[in-house]
Amino acid sequence: MKRRVVTIILAVALAVLGTAAVLVYVNHADARAVAGQQAVTVLVADKAIPSGTTAKDAKSSLRREILPASSVSTEAITEITAKQEELVISADLSPGQLLLHSMLVAAKDAGGLVIPDGKVAVTFTLCAPEIVAGNVRVGSDVAVFGTVVVNGNGDVSAQPNCTGQHKQQIGKGLGTTRVVVPKVRVIAIGPASSSTPPEEDAKATGNTFSQSGAGPQNDRTLVTVAVNQDDAERLILLTQTGLPYLALIGPSAQITPDDHVVPQFPPPAKKK
């Protein structure tokens, strides 16, 4: 009799444990199913985006799409933050492809130079003051000012040695600074070094631009911008006959070409 009671009790206990185990499994399965059905908003390429494009520029080519969480990688980007805007896309994105966190890298880590459609890349050498104390970065919009000599035979150098205060020898001419290009996009920045002493460099170039005093900012920096053909011609001429200077453009700043005509830089031809 006692054995029968014990057997019945064990059977009931096993049944209870089995039922509990089944309930736990079902609950977990339901939870997984619900999680898989939850929707997440991700960024998807609306059209082809080439590698090297900054996240800031890529925004216009991305669209938001709602997908099941179970089908989306945990690396999928839901929103491009301010810190990510300066990063570049490391691989080509095809239409409909998800943008992942691992695809955004620093510009220096991305291979090749991406030039916007219809533009050409122009590079020139500048010192720290001329790139806003180093605050000009890839993706920055800048205005290019130029200091040139008019009505005379003086010269200025477009490639200073970054050793001190700039001094222009303008002879009988008149030194003037004007807006050469109101707005350009910086697409690359790289350091340029020279082992040639400042004095020898000046003699080699034959320019009369001189500098006095030694300063800590003796590093040159290569700045590459994307421009159209007309602006490229202006910038190249400026690097050969004048001194370029960059200015960062603020959110509400409106930079327009000067009305005063500098012979070297006549007003751009009006587009028909």
Domains defined along the chain, listed by start:
39-109 (3.90.1210.10), 120-248 (no CATH)
- Extract the tokens encoding 29: 């399965």
Is the whole model's pTM more than 0.85, yes or no? no
Divide the 272 residues of the chain into consecutive groups of 10 and give the mean pLDDT of each group.
68 70 61 62 90 88 88 84 88 85 79 77 87 84 85 52 52 73 86 43 37 45 91 89 88 76 59 54
Per-residue pLDDT, 163: 53
Per-residue pLDDT, 269: 62
Per-residue pLDDT, 111: 63
Per-residue pLDDT, 182: 92
* Gyration radius from the chain CA atoms: 31
Per-residue pLDDT, 73: 78
Per-residue pLDDT, 216: 41
d(CA 71, CA 97) in angstroms, rounded, equals 13
